[in-house]
Amino acid sequence: MSSGQSGEFNLNSLIRDNIKALKPYSSARDEYNSEIKDMVFLDANENPFNNGVNRYPDPQQLKLKELLSKIKGVSGKKMLLGNGSDEVLDLVFRAFCEPKEDNVITLPPTYGMYEVLANTNAIEVIKVELSNTFQPKVDAILEASNKNSKILFLCSPNNPTANSFEASTIEKLLKEFNGVVVIDEAYIDFSNEESWISKLGEFPNLIVTQTLSKAYGLAGIRLGICYASVQIIETLKKIKPPYNVNELTQQKAMQRLSNLTEVKNEIEILKEEREKLILELSGIDFIEKIYPSDANFLLVKVDDANKRYDGLIAKGIVIRNRTNQPLCENCLRFTVGTSTENNKLIKTLKEL
Ligand SMILES: *Cc1c(COP(=O)(O)O)cnc(C)c1O
């Protein structure tokens, strides 16, 4: 049905009416925040006795965004931070999708949260399976979409298939899909592909999400990043809870981002471990296929996924059984661990 963006991209026509009309909650820290020393803050009903976290956190996370901006080369005005990318994705749903009316498009097999968030927001999910090489089928996607298709989710590198989508395919979808395109780059740091954050100026319907949960080693603090045009970010800001990124998270993220050598080192180690793991796994007789990986995990086809999953659990190793996902019959997903953990996995697999 859909056949290319007709003329100018019109963001306003995609945003829900109630969100357009919404006046955001104005928190005490939004109304007055100053760098002047010795200001007396009696505006937010906080406990005044200092313990490090007795004050509300900065609702705009300006310092953290400034640091991220230097690292990523994107203005802080084009960023929205959330309690994990899951919160950020939920905000995108609420900004664009009218419950019981609109729909989103997902490309299974993919990250399960898109559908969970759609369901919690009463939004229909139109599923268009990936090709058998795990690439998006552009024509099928455009055909399946209609005037109520507000969001297309592209997870690249994709979880659980581990591959990146071809840049030309993504670009075609950015140009032709009549809604916003969310590129979930949770695993981008393990890939040789370039991030799409450098293309924000080129595609007004582009939203990129990243997270500190994977390569940055901070899953416990919950920090997700959304990059988009200033207009989209301003819309999302209107609906985000005022203090959605807590003080401890902001502090810990700043600390980690100030020592990028350590992060980069760990990524290099994990990429080497990934290659070692591929070599070792290819020597195991019940492993039928190891899919190429641009991420910190491997999708592996075995003779009998349920049997091998249970076998590993019995020996104290937890992996993910993806056999019930489309195109993933008898597939298991292994996260790349430390060298010790990976050796244990290999040793155990050999004993099964
Ligand atoms: C792990 C993962 C995330 C991370 O979500 P957070 O809420 O930021 O921890 C996002 N997308 C995909 C595809 C993932 O696999």
* Residue position matching structure tokens 């080369």: 73
Which residues are registered as beta bridge partners of 299? Answer: 333
Q: Whose CA is nearest to atom 5 of ligand 1?
A: 85
- Mean pLDDT (whole number) for 24-52: 85
| pLDDT of the residue at 7 | 54
- In angstroms, rounded to a whole number, what is the distance separating the alpha carbons of residues 247 and 221? 10
Tell me the pTM: 0.96
Domains, the chain, ranges and CATH? Answer: 11-26+60-257 (3.40.640.10), 261-351 (3.90.1150.10)
Find residue 104's DSSP bridge partners. Answer: 125, 151
Summarised one tens digit per residue, pLDDT across range 184-241 is: 999 999 999 999 999 999 999 999 999 999 999 999 999 999 999 999 999 999 999 9
Determine the length of the chain. Answer: 352
Q: What is the pLDDT of residues 273-332, one digit of tens each?
A: 999 999 999 999 999 999 999 999 999 999 999 999 999 999 999 999 999 999 999 999
- For atom 15 of ligand 1, which residue has the closest CA? 159
CA-proximal residue: ligand 1, atom 2 (nearest): 186
Cβ 39 vs Cβ 28: under 8 Å = no
d(CA 15, CA 36): 38
Ligand 1 pocket, Cβ-based, cut-off 6 angstroms? 84-86, 111, 155, 159, 184, 186, 211, 213-214, 219, 224
Give CA–CA dist 298/311, Å, rounded.
Answer: 18
Average predicted confidence (pLDDT) for the chain = 95
Amino acid at 273: E
Chain segment 103-142, per-residue pLDDT in tens? 999 999 999 999 999 999 999 999 999 999 999 999 999 9
Return the SS3 of 18: helix
Separation of 136 CA from ligand 1 center, angstroms?
20
pLDDT at residue 25, rounded to an integer: 81
Query: By percentage, how much of the chain surpasses pLDDT 90?
Result: 92
To which residue do tokens 């590198």 refer?
157
- Which pLDDT band, with edges at 50, 70 and 90, does 2 fall under? very low
